[in-house]
Copies of this chain bind each other. A is one copy, B any other.
Amino acid sequence: MTARFERIALIGLGLIAGSIAHAARRGDLVGTLVGYARSEATRAKAAEIGLVDEVAATAAEAVKEADLVILCVPVGVMGAVAAEIGPHLKPGAILSDVGSVKQTVIDAVAPHVPDGVHFVPSHPVAGTEHSGPESGFATLYDGRFTLLTPPEGTDQAAVDHLAAFWRGLGANVEEMEPAHHDLVLAVTSHAPHLIAYTMVGVADDLRRVTHSEVIKYSAAGFRDFTRIAASDPTMWRDVFLNNKEATLEILGRFTEELFALQRAIRTGDGDTLHAYFTRTRAIRRGIIEAGQDTDAPNFGRGLPPK
């Protein structure tokens, strides 16, 4: 099964699209790369830095003749973009997206996919806190997982071709049910992001602790929250609005547990605290062993220069 596509159109030219572009070229997985983004500024920047071979003036124009079209826009506009490009998709083409939520994206996009076009939703579980056309890099997907959530009845050859492409970009590829995907990501990503945003908001608000103090003493744990909470507001607004149920369910569980630990603090129940803090270490070990993080203390920050 080939991993290559002759003509790929990227709609949206931010972190995820840019990293696809860099990695596709690194792997020689593409003939011609076409790109489109909403703003003139982003299109001009993408052209200037040669992120894609051709910058199109409209989304419709970008997808014409493309063998693979990937929607790399915020989750909330996937439906609108699909409606716009639907009529212009080439018969036999694969349409994909990289949205962080899958069920609502499928619901929004599928109605606009013409017969003969294969819709294979995907989600690369990798990212950084940066965004925009200059933030992408070729190694973003190396060793990370990309989840495909094809609706029942999707053409298997199309799924296999897209899977091979993502492997060529460096990713491990797995398939998952959309609803289960949304629950898993609520745990590993969406709830943690909301929590980090909230904690940073609390620090920002507190009058008795100055911003300067928060900044200077952030190395004690808080700065990791600020990195997560520096992510793009539009992307994250759309994620929460489109993964409501799962996110709210996980946050409900979270609050319940947090209250139990708060009670343990209030009553001086050290045993409960100690047992809780001990039990969670196995997950960290698993993550290190699975190559999904470094064991260098502090992610390697503050280590002796090599």
> B-contacting residues of A (Cβ < 8 Å)?
76, 100, 125-130, 135, 137-140, 142-145, 147, 172, 174, 180, 183-185, 187-189, 191-206, 208-209, 211-231, 233-234, 236-238, 240-241, 244, 247-248, 250-251, 253-255, 257-258, 261-262, 265-266, 268, 270, 273-274, 276-284, 286-287, 290, 292-294, 297-304
Contacts and interface: CB of A to CB of B under 8 A. Distances in A.
B184 A273 contact: no
B215 A292 contact: yes
B258 A255 contact: yes
A257 to B, nearest CB: 5
11 contacts: A139-B304, A174-B216, A184-B217, A187-B206, A191-B199, A194-B261, A197-B277, A206-B250, A211-B283, A214-B283, A244-B266
Nearest to A260: B198
B279 A265 contact: no
Given A220-B188, A292-B215, A253 B206 contact: yes
A217 to B, nearest CB: 4
Contacts of A183: 208-209
Contacts of A304: 137-139
A144 B217 CA distance: 8
Nearest to A298: B128
Task: Tell me if A's interface is mostly helix, strand, loop or mixed.
Answer: helix
A292 to B, nearest CB: 5
Contacts of A283: 200, 203-204, 211, 214-215, 226
B300 A237 contact: no
Contacts of A253: 202, 205-206
A204 B241 contact: no
A215 B144 CA distance: 11
Contacts of A197: 261, 276-277, 280
B251 A258 contact: yes
Given A215-B290, A220-B127, A221-B192, A226 B301 contact: no
A221 B174 CA distance: 19
The list of the 6 closest CB pairs from A to B, nearest first, reads A128-B297, A189-B220, A233-B277, A230-B284, A215-B286, A299-B299
Contacts of A139: 302-304
A250 B214 CA distance: 13
Contacts of A208: 180, 183
A87 to B, nearest CB: 29
Nearest to A281: B230
Nearest to A135: B297
Contact of A262 (B145, B248, B290, B293): B248
B224 A227 contact: yes
Nearest to A254: B202
Contacts of A142: 302
Q: Which of A191, A216, A268 has the most CB of B within 10 A?
A: A216
